[in-house]
Structure 1
């Protein structure tokens, strides 16, 4: 079980962070770090470091289905990152 970093770009709509966290919880992810920044035009960047026993691709497929999610990038995370 390795650490992965997800970078999620989404519209800053009421409840979007809660919906993202709910999907991660239901898919068995364990968040170890989270950072959110507001960008221009009511767009947010959410960086999440998490560990999961399931493939990260399955989680990404579920997250991209959320209406306000625009894009998701992932990469393996290391402490030297």
Structure 2
């Protein structure tokens, strides 16, 4: 499985993180690492995800971008690391 890193900027609401995690799971990606912090103002959060899957990361990117509270999704430099399932 290939690992991919994503940066998500979203509105800080109680359900936002739950929605992001649900989309990751429904699209068949496994979360390897996650970091979340509040943005420059208390209304936004930055979520950094490292996910693994055999599926193309663009599928996850497209679905996360459609979420109401998500402002921006970026695919970071792809890692050449592969993990075995």
TM-score by length of 2: 0.86
Count of residue pairs the alignment pairs up: 79
Specify which structure has the higher proportion of helix.
1
- Within 5 Å, give how 1:29-68 maps onto structure 2: 29-41=29-41, 42-68=43-69
Which structure 1 segments of 5+ residues have no match? none
Q: In the TM superposition, what whole-angstrom CA distance separates every residue of 1:22-76 from its partner, at most 9, and x where no partner exists? A: 0000000000100001012311100000101111001111011100000011121
Matching of residue 15 in structure 1 with residue 6 in structure 2: no
Asked if the contact 1:29–1:52 (Cα under 8 Å) also holds between the matched residues in 2, the reply is yes
Structure 1 vs Structure 2 CA RMSD: 1.3
1:73 alignment partner in structure 2 = 74
TM-score by length of 1: 0.90
Asked if the contact 1:5–1:47 (Cα under 8 Å) also holds between the matched residues in 2, the reply is yes
Which structure 2 segments of 5+ residues have no match? none
